[in-house]
Amino acid sequence: MKRVLLFVLTNLAVIFVLSIVTSLLGVEHWLTENGIDYYSLLVFAAVFGFGGAFISLLVSKPVAKWSVGAKVITSPRNQEEQWVLDTVNKLADRVNLPRPEVAIYEGDANAFATGASKSNSLVAVSTGLLRNMTRDEVEAVLGHEIAHIKNGDMVTLTLIQGVLNTFVIFAARVVGFIVDNAIRRGEGSGTGIGYMFTVIIFQILFGILASIIVMYFSRQREFRADSGASDLLGSNKSMIAALQRLGSIKDGELPKAIAAFGIAGGSKPGGFRKLFMSHPPLEERIEALRNANSPVKKI
């Protein structure tokens, strides 16, 4: 389960820390002092649920740069850097996007896009990918990343994660209150120690279930980005060739913070493990491009 979305882990960590802080400040006691206040709990869950997701979104670009040591191209030092910069700018202009920052980092074959918005985004490509792919294939990969930005995948992911975080926080506390009441048999007001332990356990369990939904969305957006790159280039041949090349070379494992945003990540696990994959298998992505029903049009 190497390709786990760091975005998910980051905001769940934020939620966990905020939960501890609110407990220390007595917020949890206030919510349950005279029986659980469902309306206040829902507001509380939404504030912290979406808060964790949006904090992760806001720090996504600097975290990505730091985690892979990406160097933003400001003044190209060679023809390769100039070509990468010009290609990203050309593709962004073609779909009327604000030009993203462009970076190169040392590592095996991979590339990713991230950022808080379409006007504040980053496209990064590894030296391994540049060395092992033809320029047509690299252009397809860059088109894939531009399609992610064009589709607003980061913001959509944030909204989905925010909704799921809200559910996790709300449901874990409702279950915690029920279990705690059963243990104490309704004696006294407020909550006992069983409440906090139950909340932590069910927050983890519900968080795992929520991550399955997030990973499903992540896999679907890879299909859309592949299709978007084909539309952008006017043909699916280069995108298919790029995916085939990824299957024949060593792909670079990204840090968990940005693993779901890389072009690579399609192993072939089966069964339950597939639910936690951020990327579909490369074979499925290639097959989807080959079986596209509508003719490819430039976007």
Exposed / middle / buried, residue 114 (Cβ in 10 Å: 0-12, 13-18, 19+): buried
Q: Would the CA dihedral through 138, 143, 146, 152 be positive or negative?
A: negative
Sign of the dihedral through C-alpha 84, 108, 287, 217: negative
Angle, in degrees to the nearest 10, between helices 135-150 and 237-248: 110
Three-state SS across 200-232? HHHHHHHHHHHHHHHHHHHHHHHHHHHHHHHHH
Per-residue three-class SS string for 21-58: HHHHCCHHHHHHECECCHHHHHHHHHHHHHHHHHHHHH
- Provide the annotated active-site residues: 145
**Inter-residue contact 129 to 141 (CB < 8 Å):** yes
H helix runs in the chain, sequence order:
6-24, 27-32, 38-58, 60-68, 79-94, 127-132, 135-150, 153-184, 193-233, 237-248, 282-290
Q: Report how far residue 11's alpha carbon sits from residue 256's, in angstroms, rounded to the nearest whole number.
A: 12
